[in-house]
């Protein structure tokens, strides 16, 4: 699918749109893809990196506002009242900077984490500053590695890129699911221990 989208047009604006939209679905894979596009010469490296930053910022900020919207819509608050989200609310209220950095490094936490930022009423300015810093550091590290490796193997890039991407996508999805299941199990165990202490 990504192959078809990228081959649909060599228009730079189309490629920017593909990178931006792809960050809404799979951030890390979008960063790697943007780095490889830059390495293959399809995109200017600076433009590719900026597209990644813009996409990640829009996606994270939208999730933050979903969390803030729970104040206005009780039905949404009830729908988002899950252990994965609620377990992050108190840490975000006490140490938002540290928790935001942790969320950025944990793919299984991101969607829940940014929604939790809104529910925890982390000030928008503080959220934007901390999140922008974490986005830049995280994206820059992954992008530079993808760009370097892409340039190192530029001659073979066109041949193996589209075969490799589905494999990387599958590994990423399975890894993210495993991380999420592990986190959910830890949270459930913690709740059971708390309930056991309360009853004794």
Does residue 100 carry a pLDDT above 60? yes
pTM metric for this prediction: 0.76
Check residue 33 and give its pLDDT: 86
Tens digits of per-residue pLDDT, 30-57? 898 899 888 888 889 999 999 999 999 9
Task: Work out the pLDDT band at 87, boundaries 50, 70, 90.
Answer: confident
Check residue 138 and give its pLDDT: 92
Q: Quick one: how many helices (H) and strands (E) in the chain?
A: 10, 0
Check residue 51 and give its pLDDT: 95
Residues sharing a CB contact under 8 Å with residue 174, sequence separation 6 or more, in sequence order: none
DSSP string for 15-84: HHHHHHHHHHH-HHHHHHHHHHHHHTTSS-HHHHHHHHHHHHHHHHHHHHHHHHGGGT-HHHHHHT--HH
Tens digits of per-residue pLDDT, 54-67? 999 999 999 999 99
Tens digits of per-residue pLDDT, 126-149? 999 999 999 999 999 999 998 888
Going by the DSSP 8-state scheme, the letter that residue 167 receives in this structure is H
């Amino acid at each position: 699918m990504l192959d078809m989208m990228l081959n649909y047009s060599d228009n730079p604006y189309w490629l920017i749109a593909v990178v931006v939209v792809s960050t809404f679905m799979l951030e890390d894979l979008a960063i790697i893809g943007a780095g490889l596009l830059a390495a293959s010469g399809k995109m200017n490296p600076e433009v590719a990196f900026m597209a990644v930053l813009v996409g990640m910022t829009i996606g994270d900020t939208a999730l933050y506002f979903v969390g803030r919207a729970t104040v206005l819509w009780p039905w949404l608050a009830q729908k988002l009242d899950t252990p994965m989200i609620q377990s992050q609310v108190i840490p975000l209220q006490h140490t938002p900077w540290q928790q935001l950095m942790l969320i950025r490094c944990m793919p299984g936490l991101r969607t829940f984490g940014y929604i939790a930022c809104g529910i925890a009423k982390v000030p928008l300015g503080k959220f934007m500053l901390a999140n922008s810093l974490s986005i830049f550091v995280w994206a820059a590290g992954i992008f530079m590695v993808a760009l370097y490796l892409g340039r190192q193997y530029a001659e073979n890039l066109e041949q193996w890129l589209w075969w490799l991407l589905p494999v990387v996508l599958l590994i990423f999805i399975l890894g993210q699911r495993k991380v999420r299941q592990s986190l959910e199990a830890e949270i459930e165990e913690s709740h059971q221990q708390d309930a056991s202490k309360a009853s004794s």
